[in-house]
Structure 1
Amino acid sequence: MAWFILAIAGVLEVVWAFSMKKSAGFTLLTPTLVTFLAAAASFILLSLSMRTLPLGTAYTIWTGIGAIGAFAVGVAVLGEAVTPGRLIAAVLIISGIVVMKMSEG
């Protein structure tokens, strides 16, 4: 169950990052509210997952999901550039997540 909670926390990290971008520096009410609610929920779920998962594993995977998710949303929704360097970075992040998960004792 901790892994499922951690995955939801990671998805919520992507939600708050995207809504923060759409908030125009916290000048638009709805995306600002979504940002703060999603961030709070993400932190709460992360803390719940850490009841059973190691700190290093949970935090690394949470930030990795957020980084890759934000990159994907940026490309798919916001039209951000896909460059070889950004793709290599994404692959390295995913590789790190896989190794961290496989190394969890």
Structure 2
Amino acid sequence: MNISVFPFNVTINAIDKIKQLVIKKKNLQLKLRIYITGGGCGGFQYGFKLEKYINKDDIYIQQSGIEIIIDPISSQYLIGGKIDYKENLEGSKFIVINPNAQTTCGCGLSFSI
């Protein structure tokens, strides 16, 4: 586990939603994993899931009572980024504001570099 300072920000909305999800699952050991996979309409796609365990090479971010983990391959695409949580008429979702993305799709879940 890499506990160094990683240049990635988390908004208040995202922090609040992560806390709500962890409480709803009744497991305070859960962390939000952010990962990137190939696919999606933009080439790469963001993924989010709650996990209990941290792998030895994961990037570990702790902020305002929440924990986020990012695998080393995904971390190279997320440097300098930010996670937010939005609720509107279209629904609710985590979104990543990624300064490394050359293009993003309309859904906000995929991007290309």
- Coarse TM-score class (shorter-chain normalised): under 0.3
Larger strand fraction of residues: 2
Please, what TM-score do these two structures have when normalized by structure 1?
A: 0.28
Please, what TM-score do these two structures have when normalized by structure 2?
A: 0.27
Which is higher, the Rg of structure 1 or of structure 2? 1
Larger helix fraction of residues: 1
